[in-house]
Amino acid sequence: MAKVMREALAKNRSVAPMSTPIRRVIEIDPNQPDERLLQEAGALLRGGKIVAFPTETVYGLGADALNSAAVSAVYRAKGRPATNPVIVHVDTLEMARELTASWPQTADRLATACWPGPLTLVLPRASKVPDVVTAGGPTVAVRMPANLVALGLIRAAGVPVAAPSANRSGGLSPTLARHVLASLLGPIDLLIDAGPTQLGLESTVIDLTTAPPRILRPGQITSSDIERHIGPVQYASLGGHEPLRSPGLLPRHYAPRSPAECLPLSDMVRRADELVGAGLRVGCLYCGAVPPGMANCFTSVVLPAVAAGYAEGLYAALHHLDELQVDRILIVSPPQGEEWHAVQDRLRRAVAL
Ligand code: TXA
Ligand code: MG
């Protein structure tokens, strides 16, 4: 990750001003999570409380997936519409299978190849999964996260853990504990701070109930990765007359508070000059390097020109620019190519009106 971002993240490491009412924050070592702390957090989940915790992608806000009242509290804390279903996190294959009414060979192949990891499988739901988890729909989304704290927490809880990203609905996902505190609406019982998440963008979501299977949300695991295991897949598209299969497909989502524009490098100097000249505080997000001749922007962040590094730092960079309350965020369009697909998708939604 670029030095400038590492410094910003280091400064932001400790849990600072709280806007979310929160009962307790604990720090856990991401590499050697303290078993006693995991047991305490697991007991809270089992008792119907809500707990924010890290995964390898972003922080999630968890509740016992089989407890409707607890999952409803998660929806309230996020201001999430009841029509948007949540992902259920598991620590074993058996736990995943018990949440589903059928487990096709495609699920077996993908789970074997990609779990634990940033891939969410949408499958026919078992009747024991409450309506609030699936938004009343016939499917359930399941994933096994590749994060020792998340896996230890689910094991300690002994229940599947429903967890959307731990941010206000529609906003940026949290990649640091302090992002969770800054963005939720309602009270939460515990926040587990285990430092920055490793991948930085949410999991790939694939619907295995359609033929061919459809990618509902791109992520680090690409369509080629998936096709190697189960053959051809499609991308779900927006528009047309179909009902929306996944609210994560909404055009504006994953968005910073400040209005943002994404533009080619060749237009950056002109656009920044224009906005700075009009008296706006402009925050710039670059890919690889700052182009020569840039206007005197209020602040700038440089992310690596490598897809994984860019993805890791993107939300932290946008949170940082939001915290500085810039009037406008200018983002240099990153490169095309399959490995950039998830980044391109989130940027499109971040700038949508
Ligand atoms: O990486 C991630 O997936 C993170 C971490 C915490 O696991 N979670 C996450 O959750 O991003 P959330 O709720 O912010 O996004 C879940 C996405 C949404 O777009 C939701 O609509 C979709 O998955 N989804 C959940 N259940 C679904 C279902 N049964 N059918 C179709 N889409 C579903
Ligand atoms: Mg989310």
Q: Is the dihedral of CA 353, 329, 173, 19 positive or negative?
A: negative
| pLDDT higher than threshold 70 for residue 268 | yes
Lowest-confidence range among 97-111, 147-161, 262-276? 262-276
pLDDT of residue 281: 96
Tokens (6 digits) for 314: 């993107």
Ligand number with the minimum distance to the CA of 173: 2
Ligand number with the minimum distance to the CA of 175: 1
Give tens-digit pLDDT for 209-225: 999 999 999 999 999 99
| pLDDT higher than threshold 80 for residue 44 | yes
pLDDT of residue 248: 55
305 vs 19, more confident: 305
Give tens-digit pLDDT for 51-65: 999 999 999 999 999
Does any ligand 1 atom lie closer than 6 A to the CB of residue 130?
Answer: no
Ligand number with the minimum distance to the CA of 86: 1
350 vs 241, more confident: 350
Does any ligand 1 atom lie closer than 6 A to the CB of residue 139?
Answer: yes
Ligand number with the minimum distance to the CA of 254: 2
Residue among 253, 166, 193 nearest 12 (CA): 193
pLDDT of residue 8: 38
Give tens-digit pLDDT for 168-208: 999 999 999 999 998 887 889 999 999 999 999 999 999 99
pLDDT of residue 295: 74
Separation of CA 11 and ligand 2 centre (Å): 25
pLDDT of residue 245: 57
Separation of CA 80 and ligand 1 centre (Å): 12
Separation of CA 50 and ligand 2 centre (Å): 16
Tokens (6 digits) for 214: 């459809």
Average pLDDT over the chain, rounded to whole?
91
What atom in ligand 1 is closest to the CA of residue 166?
6
Q: Mutation test of ligand 1: which of 202, 209, 252 has the most ligand atoms closer than 8 Å to its C-beta?
A: 202
Separation of CA 333 and ligand 2 centre (Å): 23
14: confidence class by pLDDT, cuts 50, 70, 90: very low
What atom in ligand 1 is closest to the CA of residue 165?
14
Does any ligand 1 atom lie closer than 6 A to the CB of residue 87?
Answer: yes
* 143: β partners: 89
What atom in ligand 1 is closest to the CA of residue 201?
1
Give tens-digit pLDDT for 87-130: 999 999 999 999 999 999 999 999 999 999 999 999 999 999 99
**E strand or H helix at 345:** helix 341-351
Tokens (6 digits) for 131: 């309506």
pTM: 0.93
| pLDDT higher than threshold 90 for residue 16 | no
| pLDDT higher than threshold 90 for residue 340 | yes
Give tens-digit pLDDT for 242-264: 445 565 556 677 889 999 999 99
Separation of CA 345 and ligand 2 centre (Å): 14
| pLDDT higher than threshold 90 for residue 161 | yes
What atom in ligand 1 is closest to the CA of residue 134?
29
- Angstrom CA distances, 314 to 33, 306, 310, stand at 26, 12, 6
CA distance 109 to 131: 27
pLDDT of residue 246: 60
